[in-house]
Amino acid sequence: MYKHLLGVLIIGLLLVGCGEDPEVERTKRVSETEEVAKQMNDNILSIIAILQAAENQWVINGVKPIVQDGVVVGYTFTIDGQDPINVFLELYMADKNSYTYLIPIFGIEFHDNAWCWTINGDLLTDGNGDPIPVIPDNPENPIIPQIMIIDDYWCMSIDGGVTWQQLFSITEKNDNPIVDSGKLHDDIFQNIEFDGDSFYITIVDGQVLVIPHDCSIDDLPFPGTKIIPDKEDEENPLIVEDGAIKAEFSVSANKKVYFSKGNLQYMPSENKWRFAEHQYDIIGEDNYKASKTYDGWLDLFGWGTGDNPTYFSYTDGNYYSTFKDWGANAISNGGKKTNLWRTLSHAELTYLVRQRTNHGDLCGVAFVNNMFGCVLLPDSWPLPSGLNSTINGISDLGAAHISEVVTYSLSSWEEMEKKGAIFLPAAGKVHWLEGNDGCWGRYGIYWTSTTINEDHGDVDYAYCWDVNLLDEIAYAFTSLGFGKFGKNSVRLVRDAK
């Protein structure tokens, strides 16, 4: 049985600004198009192996992420013990102008009960005018398209490189049709997902190919995961993986956690969970619109409402007596698995802020990108070069009255974030009916999983973490009890491995 056809053909891409000298532009294009052409040829060979694996129930034995410009853009697979193949979900772009250059777009199309090659949306045909199948009719003499740069032109071969057809100049400009959200891709692979049993590879037209695996995926990042390099230690980069900022925070003498990349958010109409794109992002007054059919995002929740996130005890009449953790849900940009995340307990929060080694230097309040909130620093904290100070610490009493609040510009915060700094924005609150001042950007309350077993009359209380800016004075409290009738922020954690 024909399996993998391996070949390495190197070619690539680049973007050049307006008004650039033609010779400089040409030189850059020759260099940069090498990477794009190599990725095209890799995908051409890889789809053959992927289709055969799905048809013959071959098993993926090994997998590694492909990282490009700090982002996971594909995977290197070993299938059925054969040589590795590379699958790219994104093709290389030097900058946002890259897709203004015309490039050949290879793809596949299901035609006459077989997958066939296409180029720029048209069926690719042989010398007889017949469509060329992806799985060769004759494994001993396969017809497989290849791409190469020759004399500053994109050229294509379908006879193993014996002859080459000139397509167009590498400096010809024309917006490419295969660009989604600024990402350039071919017309073959669309997405890759996985679980403990299989990889789910989505190809053109949304068809999903299921291929079982027998390899470890515990630390395998999903497509789009940001891999943030530490400039001072390139061999040990800080990783944002499956929604977790992988910097360690001690929450007891023998337990460490990773924080999520942003506050928890929920869209009721789609029953979809996600983490905020940036740590300083908040939803604000749209939280008043919460209902089971609301088609926007929410980021404030009643205590323990992981199984009923739009529940509001102030209007619905009853408090949640049993805590249902929001982390039990599958989070779309947080690993997509149930029970992967959890909420800190009051004891863990207290240890984090008031008991871990050097705790007084690792927690405080600040403005980040003009948003007020709390900054938490990981156990191992090297101050990024170029920053003169860290944060105003919180005292052992668990409360800080801070008249001068540190301010970080967006660029300064990005340097802090690369070292693992966590920011809990003052995302406001919903404690009464619509029209109440939610204190967006000035007041933040973060739930813990711990209820307060004391008699408070008609109101049930739970412990939370409070950070606020009132009357120009910043406050932070670690042991505040708050009535469960309110809707507050949620920041989830994962146990560090």
Q: Which helix (H) or strand (E) holds 27?
A: helix 22-56
The reported pLDDT for the residue numbered 329 is 95
Asked if residue 384 is part of any domain, the answer here is: yes
The reported pLDDT for the residue numbered 236 is 45
- The whole-angstrom separation of Cα 204 and Cα 441 is 44
Within this chain, do residues 315 and 409 fall inside the same structural domain, yes or no?
yes
Ranked by mean pLDDT, the top range of 43-57, 81-95, 376-390 is: 43-57
Residue 456 — very low, low, confident or very high, per pLDDT cuts 50/70/90? very low
Could you tell me what percent of the chain has a pLDDT over 90? Answer: 33
Within this chain, do residues 156 and 277 fall inside the same structural domain, yes or no?
no
Average pLDDT over residues 431-456: 70
Residue 14 — very low, low, confident or very high, per pLDDT cuts 50/70/90? very low
Asked if residue 1 is part of any domain, the answer here is: no
Asked if residue 187 is part of any domain, the answer here is: yes
Within this chain, do residues 186 and 273 fall inside the same structural domain, yes or no?
no
**Which of 212, 237, 263 is a domain's end point?**
212
pLDDT beyond 90 at 471: no
Token pair in block for residue 145: 């398209």
61-88 residue pLDDT tens:
999 999 887 788 999 999 988 889 999 9
Contact indicator for 226, 237 with CB cutoff of 8 Å: no
298-334 residue pLDDT tens:
999 988 899 999 988 765 456 666 789 999 999 988 9
pLDDT beyond 80 at 349: yes
pLDDT beyond 80 at 168: yes
Token pair in block for residue 23: 């010779």
Complete DSSP assignment for 120-158? TTEE-B-TTSPBPBSS-SSTTS----EEEEETTEEEEES
Domains identified in the chain, total number: 2
pLDDT beyond 80 at 60: yes
- The whole-angstrom separation of Cα 268 and Cα 255 is 34
The reported pLDDT for the residue numbered 136 is 82
The reported pLDDT for the residue numbered 208 is 93
Asked if residue 223 is part of any domain, the answer here is: no
Asked if residue 221 is part of any domain, the answer here is: no
* Average pLDDT taken over every residue of the chain: 78
Residue 381 — very low, low, confident or very high, per pLDDT cuts 50/70/90? confident
* Burial of 203 from C-beta contacts in 10 A (0-12 / 13-18 / 19+): buried
Within this chain, do residues 289 and 433 fall inside the same structural domain, yes or no?
yes
Average pLDDT over residues 114-134: 91
Within this chain, do residues 185 and 125 fall inside the same structural domain, yes or no?
yes
The reported pLDDT for the residue numbered 33 is 77
- The whole-angstrom separation of Cα 245 and Cα 227 is 10
Asked if residue 64 is part of any domain, the answer here is: yes
Within this chain, do residues 204 and 252 fall inside the same structural domain, yes or no?
no
pLDDT beyond 70 at 348: yes
Residue listed under structure tokens 């497989």:
144
**Which of 212, 228, 254 is a domain's end point?**
212
Residue 234 — very low, low, confident or very high, per pLDDT cuts 50/70/90? very low
Q: Which residues contact 70 (CB under 8 A, 6 or more apart)?
A: 226, 227, 228, 229
137-157 residue pLDDT tens:
777 778 899 998 888 888 999
Average pLDDT over residues 176-182: 52
pTM flag (> 0.85)? no
Within this chain, do residues 298 and 166 fall inside the same structural domain, yes or no?
no
Ranked by mean pLDDT, the top range of 386-400, 430-444, 445-459, 483-497 is: 483-497
Residue 258 — very low, low, confident or very high, per pLDDT cuts 50/70/90? very high
Asked if residue 228 is part of any domain, the answer here is: no
The reported pLDDT for the residue numbered 17 is 34
Q: Which residues contact 487 (CB under 8 A, 6 or more apart)?
A: 287, 290, 300, 301, 302, 312, 429, 430, 431
Judged by average pLDDT, the poorest of 71-85, 174-188, 338-352, 441-455 is 174-188
Within this chain, do residues 143 and 192 fall inside the same structural domain, yes or no?
yes
The reported pLDDT for the residue numbered 48 is 93
Contact indicator for 323, 425 with CB cutoff of 8 Å: no
The reported pLDDT for the residue numbered 255 is 94
The reported pLDDT for the residue numbered 179 is 52
In angstroms, the Cα distances linking 206 to 22, 109, 116, 127 are 41, 12, 16, 31
pLDDT beyond 90 at 336: no
**Which of 212, 236, 257 is a domain's end point?**
212
Average pLDDT over residues 345-352: 88
Within this chain, do residues 73 and 205 fall inside the same structural domain, yes or no?
yes
Within this chain, do residues 195 and 261 fall inside the same structural domain, yes or no?
no
Asked if residue 396 is part of any domain, the answer here is: yes
Domain extent, residue 476, equals: 246-495
Within this chain, do residues 488 and 408 fall inside the same structural domain, yes or no?
yes
Degrees, nearest 5: CA angle 9-27-72: 50
Which of 440-443's residues contact partners 24+ apart within 8 Å by CB, and which partners? Answer: 440/282, 440/284, 440/285, 441/282, 441/284, 441/371, 441/372, 442/372, 442/468, 442/469, 442/470, 443/467, 443/468, 443/469, 443/470
Within this chain, do residues 281 and 200 fall inside the same structural domain, yes or no?
no
